[in-house]
Amino acid sequence: MDRVTTFGGHRTDAPPARVVPMSDRTFKPIESPDSTTVFPYHDLTPPTLSQIYRMRALMQSHLPRSPLVRSDILSERLDADVYLKREDTLPTGTFKVRGGIALGHDLDERFREQGLIVASTGNLGQGVAYGGREFDVPVVIGVPEGANPSKVAAMERLGARVEQRGTDFDEAREWVESRAVDEGYRLVSPGNDRNLLAGIATAGLEVVEDRSDVDVLVNPIGSGSSATGYCLTVGKLCDADVIGVQSEDASAVYEAWKGGHLKSKESVSTFAEGLATRVPFALTMQVLREDLTDIVLVSDEALRQTIRLLLEEEHILAEGAGVASVAGALQLGDELRGKTVVLPISGRNIDAETLAAVLE
Ligand SMILES: *Cc1c(COP(=O)(O)O)cnc(C)c1O
């Protein structure tokens, strides 16, 4: 397994490190079960249902509820009762804002001055920036060079400081982790962060409130945070099957899940940046291994076709990762016949250039 963590790895172009009392163990990482950096404040136990219910009350005072809408077109195609959970309608355009609210609200006093730091290809950063703004917490976001410009602009508009570091998500993540060590920011882990997962899991409670008879929920997997949330809510409370979807060109979690390990991949490539993670996280993998029914792989071409399908037939505009649930369901086909199926539309943040290429 390639451990690529660069504790304290200074770069010459990095801002000068703030002096942090080395006696404060908070800023020293602990032994990590995977190849990401973990601090003592990262609780690696899955959120409990009661914690998720408490978060649900918090979300109600900060976010609109996302609608669960029947799709006649997909119901007909799949000969099933199909509902779309419209997470794309939330502020910032994705479910990740739920995690941002949870983190901003629960921030430990020790981190109030420095605030939160997070690596992101765009959507998690926007969610955390939104949560930071709600609770007046500073936010620094490390994005890969050449990150989606409309997502970068959105993060800056929400008041976050955006730094372009590294060539892909995981290099940006390593930069962010070393800043958290050196400068005492509260590191947001996309997969090993119990608070974040509890916030994100509130989407599943909303689904259960709307329909308690869900048979199958199909959901995209990047770091696995949202699939974990659905396993812990819809999976448990409706006894539903939760099925994950990854891109066949970015299958790190799929392989780790099937193989029972936490190995990173050297590189992944998909235009659906929400799915482009090459490092499995210990906490989400623990839940997914226990509770996820299956993972299906879809091609990038299938994701493009599904963006077109949703736009032309449902008049919903979603990004590549945002339609992965629908692409996965179409691939499952007959297996879903006669069932009540929920497909979260996880995000809408597609830029005009990508959309133009998809529609060509
Ligand atoms: C982050 C993201 C995903 C993947 O979710 P994870 O919780 O990281 O597995 C899917 N779709 C969109 C739009 C995203 O932003």
CA of 355 to the centre of ligand 1 (A): 18
Q: What is the mean pLDDT of residues 226-235?
A: 98
| Cβ atoms of 101 and 131 closer than 8 Å | yes
CA of 44 to the centre of ligand 1 (A): 20
Q: Name the pLDDT band for 11 (thresholds 50, 70, 90).
A: very low
Q: CA 342 from chain center: how many Å?
A: 18
Q: Name the pLDDT band for 277 (thresholds 50, 70, 90).
A: confident
- Which among 96, 120, 126 is the best mutation to test ligand 1's pocket, defined by most ligand atoms within 8 Å of the CB? 96
Contact 123 CB / ligand 1 (< 6 Å): yes
Half-sphere exposure of 316 (CA within 13 A, CB side): 27
> What's the rounded Cα separation, in Å, for the pair 360 and 356?
6
> What's the rounded Cα separation, in Å, for the pair 119 and 31?
20
Q: Name the pLDDT band for 237 (thresholds 50, 70, 90).
A: very high
Domains and CATH numbers, the chain: 49-94+194-359 (3.40.50.1100)
Instruction: Indicate the pairing of strand 81-86 with strand 68-70.
Output: antiparallel
CA of 21 to the centre of ligand 1 (A): 36
Q: What is the mean pLDDT of residues 156-177?
A: 92
3-state secondary structure of 248: coil
Look at residue 22 in the predicted model and tell me its pLDDT: 45
CA of 347 to the centre of ligand 1 (A): 8
> What's the rounded Cα separation, in Å, for the pair 243 and 297?
11
Q: What is the mean pLDDT of residues 220-249?
A: 97
Count CB neighbours of 162 within 10 A: 20
- Which among 126, 169, 223 is the best mutation to test ligand 1's pocket, defined by most ligand atoms within 8 Å of the CB? 223
CA of 183 to the centre of ligand 1 (A): 28
- Which among 275, 298, 303 is the best mutation to test ligand 1's pocket, defined by most ligand atoms within 8 Å of the CB? 275
> What's the rounded Cα separation, in Å, for the pair 156 and 339?
43
Q: What is the mean pLDDT of residues 343-351?
A: 96
> What's the rounded Cα separation, in Å, for the pair 65 and 157?
23
CA of 257 to the centre of ligand 1 (A): 17
Q: 227 or 24: whose pLDDT is higher?
A: 227
CA of 16 to the centre of ligand 1 (A): 32
Q: What is the mean pLDDT of residues 77-92?
A: 98
Counting residues of the chain whose pLDDT is more than 90, the rounded percentage is 82
Looking at every residue in the chain, the average pLDDT score rounds to 92
> What's the rounded Cα separation, in Å, for the pair 98 and 10?
32
Counting residues of the chain whose pLDDT is more than 70, the rounded percentage is 93
Q: What is the mean pLDDT of residues 278-295?
A: 96
> What's the rounded Cα separation, in Å, for the pair 11 and 94?
32
Look at residue 267 in the predicted model and tell me its pLDDT: 82
* Residue having the nearest C-alpha atom to atom 1 of ligand 1: 274
Q: What is the mean pLDDT of residues 112-116?
A: 95
| Cβ atoms of 318 and 350 closer than 8 Å | yes
Contact 306 CB / ligand 1 (< 6 Å): no
Contact 322 CB / ligand 1 (< 6 Å): yes
CA-253 nearest atom, ligand 1: 9
CA-348 nearest atom, ligand 1: 13
Q: Name the pLDDT band for 149 (thresholds 50, 70, 90).
A: confident
DSSP 94: B
CA of 79 to the centre of ligand 1 (A): 27
CA of 231 to the centre of ligand 1 (A): 15
Q: Is the pLDDT of residue 74 over 70?
A: yes
* Residue having the nearest C-alpha atom to atom 4 of ligand 1: 222
Look at residue 328 in the predicted model and tell me its pLDDT: 98
Instruction: Identify the residue whose tokens are 């329909």.
Output: 211
